């Protein structure tokens, strides 16, 4: 069953088009990895999928089984002000907002979900710390825990391992794969093509050439081979 | 001196004034935390000038109940300011300066042309800086302000978690199903309501102080949203209460005294913040 169907989508800023006539679809249970160079429009695409930005033209159809409050999101940059007073606990718990419906306050279940996700991300001991006083990697974990709280069917991750150390990054990939095994659909932006090849079921490559297909198809395509060899050259 | 104070407190209108003042400053401080953090304090500032213009219009028509005119105009402008502030194409701050200075000038002009009062500058002064005595409030005005402030406080408590979510990260909130736009609208409308009821207390030029000072003072010391919110409500209540008592005893203007006490409290909190910061290292 298609969760998200994108047809003839053109997106960008104001009138400047970044990618034109994009077509792909994400089914329930898929693990889609979006790759491409810096500035190719990955973050913009994700924001357009989330309706945070209006598309220039084309359509994004959301399957009937998916409600907005079942979606988790990890932004690449949060425009959080330097002096914002907020504790880690408050931030992670705010991820449960979508579960509340009309209920004004969080209940026991919400708090347990927040606690579990903090444990998963290894930030339980930071609970009462102030967000603005954490290191970049710690902040990333807090935002991941918040995204996990909001996730019930679909999670969109914009470079989830940016800022994480090697061990945390590989644990992160395992965690995402676990979520996927539990039936949660994943859409992830990553520059780590090796991880994408290992875990993703589908790959969307955007840039001057656009490719969408299963991971095997991508790895045997010209553009996939080229991109992979480029990355090997670096590492 | 205390005997003097207690003899004043015997009068019901003094007690009414105290209760009203504390309620009004409580709700402006609650909203103030969000307005400061969202960088919306400009809305508060712009709106207070709009409310001044609206009062002038109301007095030209010689309405017995000015609220009927002032409240809708201010709420409408709150919505407009919010829209222009978010629109990057129009320079948001310039638009606000235009609206606020424009209504200030228009208000003064109207009052000048149509005023039937013999004491024009006194009228203008009390609209700008608050009535010299809060004690002239009528019982119905007191009840009206108390009901509205209670409503604002209840709304704030009811939506507290959502307001936090939308204030901290609007994009995440909308991505995961909270309709951030509606909450921004709610915040703007409630701000307009607060400004209109607070005009009586401190006058239109000083309202921003009630909104901004407690939040900023509290942020010097506390680091979680909840503690900042609670402490700014406490500061606001204490400052407005003591400000009003001082003004009664010393015969100073109410609004300016409350703001002065708030400014002093900010200074104290700033010092405490520095000391805490030092000792933490
Ligand atoms: N707010 C903005 N207004 C106008 N143009 C923007 C804005 N943000 C990004 N762009 C432009 O849109 C293009 C795509 O940006 P985007 O952030 O989507 O890239 P990306 O693929 O996520 O890159 P990265 O790998 O660095 O995260 C870039 O050319 C960028 O300059
Ligand atoms: Mg990006």
Residues B281, B279: Cα–Cα separation, whole Å: 5
pLDDT for B87 equals 61
- Judged by average pLDDT, the poorest of A178-192, B14-28, B65-79, B90-104 is B90-104
pLDDT for B117 equals 67
Contact A97 B165 (CB under 8 A): yes
Answer whether A146 contacts ligand 1 (Cβ < 6 A): no
Provide mean pLDDT across the span A37-50: 93
* Residue B70 CA to ligand 1 centre (angstroms): 44
pLDDT tens, position by position, B62-80:
776 777 888 898 899 888 8
Mean pLDDT of chain B: 84
- Closest partner residue to B171 among A75, A91, A105, by Cβ? A75
3-state class (DSSP) for residue A39: coil
pLDDT for A235 equals 54
pLDDT tens, position by position, A152-168:
999 999 999 988 888 88
pLDDT for A222 equals 77
Prediction ipTM score = 0.89
B142 has pLDDT over 90: no
Domains of chain B: 2-276 (1.10.3470.10)
Percentage of chain B modeled with pLDDT above 70: 91
Percentage of chain A modeled with pLDDT above 90: 52
A16 has pLDDT over 80: yes
Q: Which residue CA neighbors atom 4 of ligand 1 most closely?
A: A13
pLDDT for B251 equals 82
User: Touching check for B172 and chain A: CB below 8 Å?
Assistant: yes
* Chain A residue nearest residue B166, CA to CA: A94
- Judged by average pLDDT, the poorest of B5-9, B99-103, B228-232 is B5-9
Answer whether A41 contacts ligand 1 (Cβ < 6 A): yes
Contact B159 A146 (CB under 8 A): no
For residue A103, give the DSSP letter: -
B266 has pLDDT over 60: yes
Strand order in the sheet with A154-158: A71-74, A154-158, A185-189, A31-35, A202-205, A211-214
Nearest of B109, B126, B162, B134 to residue B240 by alpha carbon: B134
Asked whether A30 and A201 are in contact (CB, 8 A), the reply is: yes
More confident residue, A188 or B198: A188
- Judged by average pLDDT, the poorest of A32-41, A160-169, A223-232, B8-17 is A223-232
As given in the structure block, the two tokens for residue A4 are 């998200």
pLDDT for A68 equals 85
- Judged by average pLDDT, the poorest of A111-120, B33-42, B183-192 is B33-42
pLDDT for A10 equals 92
B91 has pLDDT over 60: no
**B interface test, pick of A85, A140, A150 with most B CB neighbours within 10 Å:** A85
pLDDT for A216 equals 85
User: Touching check for A78 and chain B: CB below 8 Å?
Assistant: yes
- Chain centroid offset of residue A197 CA: 17
Which among A16, A38, A39 is the best mutation to test ligand 1's pocket, defined by most ligand atoms within 8 Å of the CB? A39
- Judged by average pLDDT, the poorest of A222-231, B39-48, B221-230 is A222-231
Residues B217, B266: Cα–Cα separation, whole Å: 5
The answer for A 159-218 residues in CB contact with B (under 8 A) is none
Domains of chain A: 1-66+156-235 (3.40.50.300), 77-152 (no CATH)
Cα maximum dimension of chain B: 64
Provide mean pLDDT across the span B207-217: 92
pLDDT for A8 equals 92
Mean pLDDT of chain A: 89
As given in the structure block, the two tokens for residue A46 are 């994700």
Nearest of B75, B225, B139, B149 to residue A93 by alpha carbon: B225
B88 has pLDDT over 60: no
Asked whether A92 and A114 are in contact (CB, 8 A), the reply is: yes
pLDDT for B126 equals 72
- Judged by average pLDDT, the poorest of B186-190, B249-253, B256-260 is B249-253
Residues B44, B24: Cα–Cα separation, whole Å: 14
B36 has pLDDT over 80: yes
pLDDT tier at B9 (50, 70, 90 boundaries)? confident
DSSP letters for A108-164: HHHHHHHHHHHHHTT-GGGTTSBGGGS-HHHHHHHHHHHHHHH-SSEEEEESTTTT-
């Amino acid at each position: 069953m298609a969760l998200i169907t994108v047809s003839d989508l053109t997106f960008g800023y104001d009138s400047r088009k970044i990618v034109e006539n994009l077509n792909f679809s994400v089914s329930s249970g898929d693990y889609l990895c979006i790759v491409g160079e810096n500035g190719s429009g990955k973050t913009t695409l994700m924001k357009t999928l989330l309706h945070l930005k209006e598309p220039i033209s084309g359509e994004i159809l959301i399957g009937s089984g998916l409600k907005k409050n079942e979606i988790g999101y990890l932004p690449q940059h949060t425009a959080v002000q330097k002096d914002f007073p907020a504790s880690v606990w408050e931030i992670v718990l705010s991820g449960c907002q979508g579960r509340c419906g009309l209920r004004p306050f969080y209940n026991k279940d919400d708090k347990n979900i927040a606690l579990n996700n903090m444990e998963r991300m290894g930030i339980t001991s930071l609970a009462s710390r102030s967000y603005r006083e954490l290191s970049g990697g710690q902040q990333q974990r807090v935002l991941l825990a918040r995204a996990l709280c909001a996730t019930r069917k679909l999670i969109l991750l914009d470079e989830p391992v940016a800022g994480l150390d090697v061990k945390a990054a590989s644990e992160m990939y395992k965690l995402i794969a676990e979520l996927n095994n539990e039936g949660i659909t994943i859409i992830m932006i990553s520059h780590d093509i090796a991880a994408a090849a290992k875990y993703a079921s589908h790959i969307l490559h955007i840039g001057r050439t656009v490719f969408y297909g299963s991971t095997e198809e991508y790895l045997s395509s010209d553009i996939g081979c080229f991109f992979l060899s480029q990355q090997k050259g670096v590492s | 001196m205390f005997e003097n104070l207690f003899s004043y407190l015997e009068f019901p209108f003094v007690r009414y004034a105290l209760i009203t003042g504390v309620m009004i400053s409580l709700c402006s401080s609650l909203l103030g935390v969000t307005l400061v953090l969202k960088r919306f304090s400009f809305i508060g500032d712009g709106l207070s000038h709009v409310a001044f213009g609206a009062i002038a219009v109301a007095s030209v028509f010689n309405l017995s109940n000015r609220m009927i005119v002032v409240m809708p105009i201010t709420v409408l402008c709150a919505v407009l300011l919010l829209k222009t502030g978010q629109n990057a194409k129009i320079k948001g701050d310039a638009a606000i300066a235009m609206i606020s200075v424009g209504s200030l000038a228009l208000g003064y002009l109207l009052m000048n042309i149509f005023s039937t009062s013999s004491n024009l500058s006194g009228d203008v002064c009390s609209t700008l800086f608050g009535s010299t005595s809060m004690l002239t409030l009528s019982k119905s005005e007191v009840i009206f302000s108390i009901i509205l402030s209670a409503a604002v406080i209840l709304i704030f408590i009811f939506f507290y978690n959502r307001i936090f979510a939308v204030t901290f990260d609007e994009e995440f909130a909308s991505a995961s199903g909270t309709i951030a736009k509606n909450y921004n609208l709610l915040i703007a409308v409630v701000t307009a309501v607060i400004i209109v009821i607070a005009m009586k207390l401190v006058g239109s030029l000083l309202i921003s102080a009630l909104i901004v000072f407690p939040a900023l003072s509290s942020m010097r010391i506390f680091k979680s949203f909840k503690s900042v919110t609670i402490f700014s409500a406490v500061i606001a209540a204490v400052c407005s209460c003591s400000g009003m008592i001082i003004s009664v005893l010393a015969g100073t203007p109410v609004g300016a005294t409350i703001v002065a006490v708030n400014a002093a409290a900010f200074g104290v909190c700033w010092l405490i913040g520095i000391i805490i910061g030092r000792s933490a290292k």
